[in-house]
Structure 1
């Protein structure tokens, strides 16, 4: 797993097209469908805490875990007075809580950053361990279709006054790994721009493999949806949401 470092400075700037409010409404609807309308919820891979804050505003007691110290610094900077969000700097493959939670949510393809099956299995085991009995686990994934047909071998770029980025993608089909080579130009003093480079890796998992690992971890697979709908996963789904339940320790 690669922690966000220099990209953390401009993450929210370049992610301002992400409809976090709509994503939050979708997740809230899933939580409430399973009778989780309040209580303690963990945001696993919380980044700069946008979703974490929205879920707190919706009445949930929030914990946010992320592996990037830089991202969590930004999350804490945006924490409003009176907020009780607990942010923890931890690797999701080894995370520890003080007790159990009613639900765990994880979005923005955080699970795709787990590039080894054994590590993803360990994450699922830890989630199962820290969930209340029959507690809910909701997470999203970029699909094999998205990496293979849409992202792989493409370059995405954006130029703004505050900064620019060039994002080169390379998909290795045999290993199902997508490499992101990210070049950033971030504005500093005197209108000068400093260049930063980062490389990130994500793994594509089939839904069948995710089901297998969830069940191996002791969890109950409940369902999966084409993202932001209640429709079944399709061959050309780009992002899916998976719902699982705690099923005994």
Structure 2
């Protein structure tokens, strides 16, 4: 019998870092700073939106930025706070907020939302609300920097099965794309070692296949005066078969 499905990242949070060692956070940070330097922007305050376990938040803080990390998952934020506790100086500050209801006490100079976190907004209206909230949370001249899994990638995942494992965890996830809902569903079975035994849990994740042209339109509707689109960690425009693309939206 399958275990009862948990909320996304409820149980995966504890195993997330160990199962995502292939994520090159340093390369993503370098690309973020390349886009900043290209525009002559030098922010001091950065919001890491949908920060997860805080890996990027910590890297940003180590680079000298004053960082706020926001996420909807209390479990992921617990892992992030534990990670940041090891920092001797300038640790990030974490808050529990959904993207579409983002509220900051004062605006920041840059906002990042990485690792296809925006795709997790499965209601398009929530994405539009998020863009408006982000615009209000930025200082004039600030940049909103995010990436998405492209529709091509999400459709290509249909029917795929993937395995991730380390000494403490074993993860099997199956992908199915629903054309009517325009969503890719991931069923994730996670087995974690508990002494001589393994404990099993199940989560279902879902990502919406956002059309890049539509996202650009919504960004401009939210007030962003300039929007740039890039291929995967490259300053060139995305190709027709791009799997991941980046956006830089500027508030003037």
Q: How far does residue 3 in structure 1 lie from its aligned partner after superposition?
A: 4.0
Superposition RMSD in Å: 1.3
Distance, in Å, in 2 between the alignment partners of 1:146 and 1:102 is: 31
- Which residue of the other structure, out of 59, 63, 71, is the alignment partner of 1:66? 71
Q: What whole-Å deviation, never above 9, does each CA across 1:146-198 have from its counterpart, x for those lacking one?
A: 0112x11111112332110110100012321000100000112x221100000
Q: How far does residue 237 in structure 1 lie from its aligned partner after superposition?
A: 0.3
Distance, in Å, in 1 between the alignment partners of 2:163 and 2:231 is: 27
Structure 1 length as normaliser, TM-score? 0.94
Q: How far does residue 84 in structure 1 lie from its aligned partner after superposition?
A: 3.2
- SS of the residue aligned with 1:46? coil
- SS of the residue aligned with 2:99? coil
Pairing 1:198-213 to 2, within 5 Å after superposition? 198-213=203-218
Unaligned stretches of 5+ in structure 1? none
Distance, in Å, in 2 between the alignment partners of 1:142 and 1:33 is: 24
- Which residue of the other structure, out of 84, 88, 97, is the alignment partner of 2:95? 88
- Which residue of the other structure, out of 109, 128, 132, is the alignment partner of 1:125? 132
Distance, in Å, in 2 between the alignment partners of 1:213 and 1:37 is: 26
Q: What whole-Å deviation, never above 9, does each CA across 1:44-69 have from its counterpart, x for those lacking one?
A: 01011111111111121111001111
Distance, in Å, in 2 between the alignment partners of 1:129 and 1:14 is: 35
Unaligned stretches of 5+ in structure 2? 1-6
- Which residue of the other structure, out of 21, 25, 44, is the alignment partner of 1:20? 25
**Residue in 2 that maps onto 1:161:** 167
C-alpha change, 1:158 and 1:224, in structure 2 (3 Å) is same
- SS of the residue aligned with 1:78? helix
- Which residue of the other structure, out of 132, 136, 141, is the alignment partner of 1:134? 141
Distance, in Å, in 2 between the alignment partners of 1:31 and 1:49 is: 21
Pairing 1:1-249 to 2, within 5 Å after superposition? 3-79=8-84, 80-149=87-156, 151-188=157-194, 190-247=195-252
- SS of the residue aligned with 2:101? coil
- SS of the residue aligned with 1:16? coil
Aligned pair count?
Answer: 244
Structure 2 length as normaliser, TM-score? 0.93
Moved over 4 A (4+): none
Distance, in Å, in 2 between the alignment partners of 1:215 and 1:38 is: 22
